Amino acid sequence: MNLPSPTLLAQAILSGIFVGALYGLLGLGLSLSWGLLRQINLSHFALAFLGAYLSYQLATVGGVDPLVTLLVIAPLFFVLGAAIHGLLSRFAVTPLNSLLVTFGLTVIIESVIQWYWTADYRRLASRYADITFRAGPLFVPLPELMTFLLSVSLCVAVWATLRYTDLGKAIRAAAEDAPIAAAFGVNQRTLAALLSGVCAALPGAPGVCLALSYTLTPSQLYAWIGVVFAAVMIGGLGSALGPLFAGIVIGVSEAITMALTAPSWAPLVSFSLLIVVLLVRPGRA
């Protein structure tokens, strides 16, 4: 274990914060649909990658600014999400079975991605990638900064909606006890459809971020599943800000581990944390 310089450590922590914000953003839709709809939506990751590829396609072929592609992707996913939800609720699928059904969807979406874009590595070349800010001795690449800002603003926006608006309160009430909420005039069915549409539209955002910062290949979507689940569970199901904080904690721990030991030890951090949380505080689900 060799102690790196303070600058290197600080840079590692900074990049840990950025990647943690991406974990949180990826976890946002997952946490909401698990906590509020009792559906574990594994296809969330496939949708994020589909969004990444769509963003890549529109930007590379259509010349559209990657951020603007979100305006196309989000409504498309919203419709898809509402459709999936219709299917799951019509068959009264249990949470565990929803995991299996959405795994099936993940495989289908991955096959579609691979069929259209092949397994070749794709890299979105945007003008954002070239810009890097300096904060003292530290480097702050623009795509990562944009990811962070997008993540924080979306998570806070969702949190505020759930917390302060009537719509948010109705959603939370319906999640806790649907029949009673219905007795108080909450239209649970419409809300659930709306919520699942939003939960499916949300992965579009991290998708765009992925396209900006990472090289894409279809099989990579599985690499994110474990660590994002860890962030969601540690942050608390149904929470909008929880996965963000947990994601940042995980990201920073991973980065420090990578700086102090070797990069390949990083997964140990998030999964050990997850195991500990599951054993010590299992009641959160």
Partner 1 sequence: MPFFGLPAFYETFLYLVFHWIVLATSWNILSGYSGYFSFGQGAFFGLGVYATATLAAHYRWPFLATLPMAAAAAAGLGLALGTVVFRVKQVRGELFALLTLAVTFVLATVILNTSIDGGPGVYLSAVSLPAIGRTPASTFYLLELGLAVATLAIAWWIARSRLGTGLFAIHDDEDVAEVLGVPTFRCKQVAFAIGCALAGAAGGIHALFVSYVTVAETFSITVPLTVVLMSVLGGTRHWAGPAVGAAVITIISYASTTGDHVLAGKAAVGVILIAVILFMPEGILGTLRPGRTRSKRQQGEVPQAVVPAGPGDQDFPRPAIQSSTTGARVLSLREVSKAFAGIKALDRVTLDVYRGEILGLLGPNGSGKSTLINVVSGYYSADAGSIVFDGQSIERWPPHRVARIGLARTYQIPRPFAHSSVLDNVVLTAMFGAPALSRRDALIEARRWLDFTGLASKANALPAELNLHQRKFLEFSRALASRPQLLLLDEVLSGLTPTEIDSAVGLIRRIRDQGTTIVLVEHLMRAVIALADRIAVLDQGSLIAEGMPDDVMAQAAVKAAYLGTAANVAG
Q: Which of residues 2-61 bind partner 1 (CB under 8 A)?
A: 40
Least distance CB 235 / partner 1 (angstroms):
14
**Does residue 112 belong to the site contacting partner 1 (CB under 8 A)?**
yes
Give, as one character, the DSSP assignment of residue 3.
P
User: 101 or 209: whose CB is closer to partner 1?
Assistant: 101
Piece of the chain touching partner 1 by CB under 8 A; list 14-22, 91-99, 142-150, 153-161: 91-99
Q: What angle do CA 109, 114, 115 make, to 5 degrees?
A: 95
Give me the DSSP letters along 85-132: HHHHHHTT--HHHHHHHHHHHHHHHHHHHHHHH-SS-B----GGGG-E
Q: Which stretch binds partner 1 (CB under 8 A): 51-59, 61-69, 106-114, 244-252?
A: 106-114
Give 23 or 229: the residue with its C-beta nearer to partner 1: 229
| Beta-carbon count within 10 A of 188 CB | 17
Q: Which of 115, 135, 136, 166 binds partner 1 (CB under 8 A)?
A: 115
Kindly state the smallest distance separating residue 1's Cβ from partner 1, in Å.
Answer: 13
In the bound state with partner 1, the residue whose beta carbon lies nearer, of 96 and 183, is 96
103 counts as binding partner 1 under rule CB under 8 A:
yes
Task: Kindly tell me which of 107 and 167 has the beta carbon lying closer to partner 1.
Answer: 107
Closer residue to partner 1 in complex, CB, 7/215: 215
The β-bridge relationship of strands 132-135 and 138-141 is antiparallel
Q: Measure the CA–CA gap between 210 and 123, rounded to whole angstroms.
A: 10
Q: Taking a C-beta distance cutoff of 8 angstroms, is the pair 42, 106 a contact?
A: yes
Which span (11-19, 166-174, 196-204, 259-267) binds partner 1, by CB under 8 A? Answer: 259-267
Helix (H) or strand (E) holding 139: strand 138-141
**Minimum CB separation from partner 1 for residue 249, in Å?**
16
* Using rule CB under 8 A, residue 87 touches partner 1: yes
Residue selected from 14, 105, 162, 199 as contacting partner 1 according to rule CB under 8 A: 105
- Please report, for residues 35, 100, 190, the alpha-carbon distance to residue 186 in angstroms, rounded to integers and kept in the order given: 18, 30, 9
C-alpha 253/C-alpha 270 separation (Å) is 8
Q: Are 25 and 268 in contact (CB under 8 A)?
A: no
Please give the residues from 180 up to 239 whose contact with partner 1 meets the rule CB under 8 A: 222, 225-226, 229-230, 233
Candidate segments 22-30, 111-119, 147-155, 174-182, binder of partner 1 by CB under 8 A: 111-119
Distances (CA, A) of 240 to 18, 39, 65, 199, 220: 17, 16, 28, 11, 25
Q: How far is the CB of 251 from partner 1 (least distance, A)?
A: 16
Contacts of 232 (CB under 8 A, 6+ apart): 27, 30, 31, 34, 242, 243, 246
Residues forming contacts to partner 1 in the complex (CB under 8 A) are 40, 87, 91, 93, 95-97, 99-101, 103-108, 110-112, 114-115, 222, 225-226, 229-230, 233, 262, 264-268, 271-272, 274-275, 278-279, 282-283, 285
